[in-house]
Structures are given as structure tokens and as C-alpha cells.
């Protein structure tokens, strides 16, 4: 099991999770699952994610690195909060690790590839029914507990992975900003290969 602290609205996480899943499939190691824990950036930053800012990041990611991703993203459907979606994902892991991973990935696919507002109660209720997940009031507090535990473990951002032997912040990408504040993003193959080796040893 590979743990990763991440927010649903983080585009860098979407790229990293996609790359992990693709490499896992290439290796035939579907036995190694992702446990996607909550790292709500709106709590970390004490303010909601800005849809316009996220859309600008996505445009840069597509131009510089991954034109095949984020094809259906709609900034107008970016959720005002990710907490309810994170709560659903957390509850899904109580059904099984497989269901938890599936819900975590599906939420990001809906948001970034299909342009669906995953903060919508109707959308979340439909996913809960589809995957057989029951969300209880206690799960909301556990999302915040995930954040506190992650902070205590040294999580520095989304996504931050923990493998059996090491931890890696955003290992699939090299992300920076130039002197003018423009986003610079490219694949970090050396870091990603080291991460993958740590996942599947």
C-alpha cells in the first residue's frame, strides 16, 4: 500500500496519480494500491483554491507537459470546497482499499477530465450509491484528522507519497516559477523512477 496525502483539486496530484497508475499497469502490479489520504489545501492555506489560478496552472501543464490530460476541465465547475469529496473518498476506504482507490481516482477524473463539479451533493450522492459507500458525520472530522496526521508526518504539499521505505513530494514533476512568476513544469524522470523503485521493491 502506497499512501499519498493529496487534495482533489490539485492538478499536480492528478498528473502524479495518473503516472503511477500507468506505470503500475505496465509492471503488472495492480496488487499495490494507493491509499489517498486527505490534504485539504483550503485548510492548509486557510482559503479556498482559486478556480482561475488552477485553470492557469492546468493550461501551463497541458502546454508544457501533458496535452492529453485535463481535456474536459471547466473552471466554472471547479468546486468551492473539496472537503465533501474528500469525506466521500475517506469513507470509501472503509468499504475496501480497492473501492477507496477507485473513488479517489474517479473524483479526479470527473473534475479534471469531464468537467464535473465534484463539490455537488448530487454528484457525490450518485458516486456513493454507485460504489456502495455510506458517509457518516464522523468521517468529516477524520478528514481533518488526516490533515493533522500528515502535518505531523512532515507532509509539505500535494501530492506527498509515503512508500514502505521512503517519502516523496510530487516525484513525477519538477515544478518551479521563473523570475516573472510563470509556472515551469516538466517530467522528473529520475525522481519518478526512484519513487517507483521504492513502491515496488
Give domain limits for the chain: 2-199
Please state, for a pLDDT cut of 70, what percent of the chain lies above it.
Answer: 100
Q: Are residues 200 and 46 in contact, defined by beta-carbon separation less than 8 angstroms? A: no
Label residue 186 by pLDDT band (50, 70, 90). confident
Q: What is the pLDDT of residue 22?
A: 96
Q: What is the pLDDT of residue 185?
A: 86
pLDDT, tens digit, 9 for 90 and up, residues 134-181: 999 999 999 999 999 999 999 999 999 999 999 999 998 888 888 888
Say whether pLDDT at 187 is over 90. no
* Angstrom distance (rounded) from CA 123 to CA 93: 18
Q: What is the pLDDT of residue 14?
A: 97
Q: What is the pLDDT of residue 60?
A: 92
**Strand pairing partners for 144?**
none
Model-wide pTM > 0.85: yes
CATH topology assigned to domain 2-199: Glutaredoxin (3.40.30)
Q: Are residues 89 and 36 in contact, defined by beta-carbon separation less than 8 angstroms? A: yes
* Angstrom distance (rounded) from CA 84 to CA 21: 24
pLDDT, tens digit, 9 for 90 and up, residues 68-105: 999 999 999 999 999 999 999 999 999 999 999 999 99
Average pLDDT over residues 24-50: 96
Q: What is the pLDDT of residue 193?
A: 94
The grid coordinates listed for 49 are: 483554491
Entry field: residues in the chain = 201
* Angstrom distance (rounded) from CA 35 to CA 17: 11
Amino acid at each position: 500500500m502506497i499512501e499519498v496525502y493529496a487534495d482533489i483539486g490539485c492538478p499536480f496530484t492528478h498528473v502524479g496519480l495518473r503516472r503511477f497508475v500507468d506505470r503500475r499497469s505496465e509492471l503488472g502490479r495492480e496488487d499495490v494500491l494507493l491509499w489517498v489520504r486527505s490534504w485539504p489545501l483550503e485548510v492548509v492555506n486557510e482559503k479556498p483554491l482559486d478556480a482561475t489560478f488552477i485553470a492557469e496552472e492546468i493550461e501551463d501543464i497541458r502546454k508544457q507537459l501533458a496535452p492529453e490530460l485535463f481535456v474536459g476541465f471547466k473552471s466554472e465547475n471547479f468546486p468551492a470546497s473539496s472537503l465533501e469529496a474528500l469525506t466521500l473518498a475517506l469513507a470509501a476506504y472503509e468499504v475496501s482499499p480497492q473501492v477507496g482507490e477507485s473513488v479517489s481516482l474517479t473524483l479526479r477524473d470527473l473534475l479534471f477530465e469531464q468537467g464535473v463539479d465534484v463539490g455537488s451533493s448530487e454528484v457525490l450522492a450518485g458516486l456513493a450509491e454507485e460504489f456502495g459507500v455510506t458517509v457518516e458525520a464522523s468521517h468529516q472530522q477524520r478528514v481533518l484528522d488526516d490533515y493533522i496526521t500528515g502535518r505531523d508526518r512532515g507532509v509539505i504539499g500535494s501530492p506527498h507519497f509515503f512508500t514502505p521505505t521512503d517519502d516523496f513530494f510530487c516525484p513525477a514533476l519538477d515544478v518551479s516559477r521563473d523570475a516573472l512568476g510563470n509556472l515551469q513544469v516538466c517530467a522528473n524522470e529520475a525522481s519518478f523512477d526512484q519513487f517507483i523503485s521504492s513502491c515496488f521493491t
